[in-house]
Structure 1
């Protein structure tokens, strides 16, 4: 059983670091209040871009799942495990699919990564191919970028085809 990962996202952390260093590097004769306002503006801009990237990735995931012909909604047959952050800063979770059909089937699962406040911070699609009838199989979903803090994973959508 091969598992493929299809992901899309943004590297907001790197962009944030670059924006903040650019703001702080140019603070020369400015007051601390001016510097703080510029930093806040930069952070707000990056947060907005990160939010737009997550929205874009979510829309793309939806389009990919909608393009699967003959897919059956099987969200209740899919589970995510606990999350763990790898040495690369990416969050991972094990995705388990259960094939309740009477024939071998494949699955496409959209996994949503949420922060401690419940805010969507990333989404990915994981495919699990050729799961035999009556059996379960696993794959690993991996965030597209570093996700700091406590992150939980949930099944947003799942199709069996």
Structure 2
């Protein structure tokens, strides 16, 4: 299943969960929380599957930094910067987790930053799959240089 298809499923699950949460019933609120948690886990799983497709990558978490989050339209975004310490041009594939103030996973995305020249930095924007509310942070879950 593609990441886009899973993101669409996530949006439907969130809409369902929001509808249930608005009913005021504790059981409905619990069900909504379960739906949202399940959908978030599915998106994170899809992002990890995308990372697993990179066969020639080496761990490059130390090369990549996440900036502060901000809102762009209805999505949360963060600037991600890769700094290439090697002597040849490299591409980076980065899994970014968006978390709330309590550290709970809200969303996960995969970002490619291609053509980073030796000794230089290049940035890209990680964009959430859905609307996130509250105080959010972006963290580098995994980064591969290839």
TM over 0.5: yes
Determine the C-alpha separation between the residues in 1 that align with 2:26 and 2:77: 31
Determine the structure 1 residue equivalent to 2:90. 105
Does residue 14 (structure 1) correspond to residue 4 (structure 2)? The answer is: no
Q: Please say which of residues 59-68 and 7-16 is displaced more in the overlay.
A: 7-16
The root-mean-square deviation of aligned C-alpha atoms, in Å, is: 1.7
In structure 1, the gaps of 5 or more residues are 1-5, 24-35
Residue correspondences, number: 140
- For the 8 Å contact 1:13–1:146, the answer to whether it is kept is no
Per the TM alignment, residue 56 of structure 1 is displaced from its structure 2 partner at its CA by 1.5
In structure 2, the gaps of 5 or more residues are none
Q: Sort the Cα spacing of 1:69 and 1:20 in 2 relative to 1 into closer, same or farther, 3 A.
A: closer
Determine the structure 2 residue equivalent to 1:133. 118
Per the TM alignment, residue 49 of structure 1 is displaced from its structure 2 partner at its CA by 1.4
Per the TM alignment, residue 82 of structure 1 is displaced from its structure 2 partner at its CA by 0.6
With the length of structure 1 as denominator, give the TM-score of the two structures.
Answer: 0.80
Determine the C-alpha separation between the residues in 2 that align with 1:148 and 1:137: 28
Structure number with greater CO (CA < 8 Å, separation at least 6) is 1
Q: Sort the Cα spacing of 1:16 and 1:55 in 2 relative to 1 into closer, same or farther, 3 A.
A: closer
Does residue 116 (structure 1) correspond to residue 101 (structure 2)? The answer is: yes
Determine the C-alpha separation between the residues in 1 that align with 2:134 and 2:42: 23
Q: Please say which of residues 42-51 and 69-78 is displaced more in the overlay.
A: 42-51
The Cα offsets for residues 119-156 of structure 1, whole Å up to 9 and x where unpaired, read as 01100000011111111100000111111100011000
Structure 1 stretches of at least 4 aligned residues deviating more than 2 Å after TM superposition: 6-9, 11-21
